[in-house]
Amino acid sequence: MKIVSKNTLTEQDVQSIRALEQASFQKDGLENGAYLSNNLNFNPELPCFYLGYEGDTLAAFLAVFMPDPTEAEIMAATLPMYQQRGFFRQLYERAAEELRLVGIHSLLLETEAKSTSGALVLARFPHRVFDHAEYRMTLSALPPELQAAEKAGTVERVTLQSKETFAAISAAAFQCTREDSYSNFISTSDQRRGYLFRWNGEAVGTFVLSNEEQDETFIYGVTIAPAYQGQGLGGHMMRHAVEMALQNTAKALIEVDSQNPAALALYRHCGFQVSFQVDYHRVAI
């Protein structure tokens, strides 16, 4: 197998990867496609896509997501006809070697809970440790009771003048630097937009809307400033976020960590339903 490593993908690459995923996901009804951008990685110049070719055929693919310089997330897929032939291992070893060179020694292997091929791969890592699960949740319309409720608070798009406020709120919640917070949640792309939520004129929360996939809007970077948590403001902010997400797309998506039951309960209250679960197992390299 010929391995090609890249830090960006062409349109043809993306089409080939999506076709590979569709073929490899069909048996188990999987849904968790790879994030095919480097713009959230701590260093976008580093290789993060590994493509394995048999002749002209893309037989296997591995993506590395590394928003943090201390660890990386790994997701991979292999065409069914090439599974159980060591293709994942070759891609994994190549990626692990390059990650070690930049000081990353901890990986999170990402697999859907219902994936039979993912279970076989995990079995080859006897020292893996389950870390956490994430739920992908979807929503196509607000519940009637929330539609009827009066909206409270206001929302404004982040500008050059307000980006420091956005960064301060999200940095406090996610325990990162202001620079990392802003660069991770806002880019120059019109497909990714950051917002401030104000309560009685005070900026108390943040969220981001992303339209990188057709006909769906991803909501992320959702947080309320620590001093204002526990007052029900998250529900008010999410009402705004969901309505804005559904203005021009048919579906809103959000992800929540299994270790954050309060957020899971909030999103369920807003009408989101779990569409699939992704498990993360930690391994040292």
What is the distance between the alpha carbons of residues 178 and 129, in angstroms, rounded to a whole number? 31
Query: pLDDT tens digits for 232-249?
Result: 999 999 999 999 999 989
What is the distance between the alpha carbons of residues 269 and 236, in angstroms, rounded to a whole number? 11
Q: Tell me which of 155-164, 179-188, 232-241 is least confident.
A: 179-188
Query: pLDDT tens digits for 218-236?
Result: 998 899 999 999 999 999 9
Residue 85 tokens read as 């032939």
Specify the CATH superfamily of domain 2-126.
Gcn5-related N-acetyltransferase (GNAT) (3.40.630.30)
Give the E-state strand segments of 55-187 in sequence order: 57-68, 71-78, 106-112, 129-139, 154-157
Query: The pTM is what?
Result: 0.83
| 216-224/202-210 β-pairing | antiparallel
* Positions of CATH 3.40.630.30 in the chain: 2-126, 138-278
**pLDDT for residue 177:** 57
Q: Is the pLDDT confidence value at 180 over 80?
A: no
Q: Is the pLDDT confidence value at 189 over 80?
A: no
Query: pLDDT tens digits for 89-130?
Result: 999 999 999 999 999 999 999 999 999 999 999 999 999 999
CB neighbours of residue 231 within 10 Å: 12
Query: pLDDT tens digits for 6-36?
Result: 999 999 999 999 999 999 999 999 999 999 9
**pLDDT for residue 171:** 80
Query: The domain 138-278 is classified under which CATH number: 3.30.70.360, 3.30.110.30, 3.10.440.10, 3.40.630.30?
Result: 3.40.630.30
